[in-house]
A and B are shown apart, each in its own frame.
Chain A
Amino acid sequence: MPPKPHRVLLDRVSVYADEAAAFMRRRRVARRPFARLYYPHGRSADHAQDSRSGAELFVAAGRLIEVAGKKEKG
Chain B
Amino acid sequence: MTTVMIQEARARVTPGIFADMPDAAATALPSGESAEAALAFLTEMSPDLRGAAILGPAGEVLAATGEEPERWGEDAAVLFAAADAAEGAPVEQVHIATEQGEVFAIRNAGLTAVTVTDRFALASLMLFDMRSTLRRLADAA
**Which residues of chain A have a CB within 8 Å of any CB of chain B?**
24, 27-28, 31, 33-40, 45, 47, 53, 55-65, 67-71
Q: Kindly list the 4 A-B residue pairs having the minimum CB-CB distance in the complex, ordered from nearest.
A: A68-B51, A68-B116, A38-B93, A53-B86
Contact status B97-A64, CB under 8 Å:
no
User: Please, which residues of chain A bring their CB within 8 A of the CB of B96?
Assistant: 33-36, 57-58, 60-61
Instruction: List the interface of chain B (C-beta within 8 A of A).
Output: 2, 5-6, 9, 22-23, 50-52, 65-66, 68, 71-72, 75-76, 78-79, 81-83, 85-87, 89-101, 103, 114, 116, 118, 120
Closest to B105 in A: A64
User: Which residues from chain B contact A39 at a C-beta distance below 8 Å?
Assistant: 22, 87, 89-92
Is the Cβ of A67 less than 8 Å from the Cβ of B93?
no
30 of the cross-chain contacts (CB-CB < 8 Å) are A31-B97, A33-B98, A33-B99, A35-B94, A35-B96, A37-B83, A37-B86, A37-B91, A38-B92, A40-B92, A45-B87, A53-B85, A53-B86, A56-B2, A57-B82, A57-B94, A60-B75, A60-B78, A61-B96, A63-B6, A63-B71, A64-B103, A65-B101, A67-B68, A67-B72, A67-B116, A68-B52, A69-B50, A69-B66, A70-B50
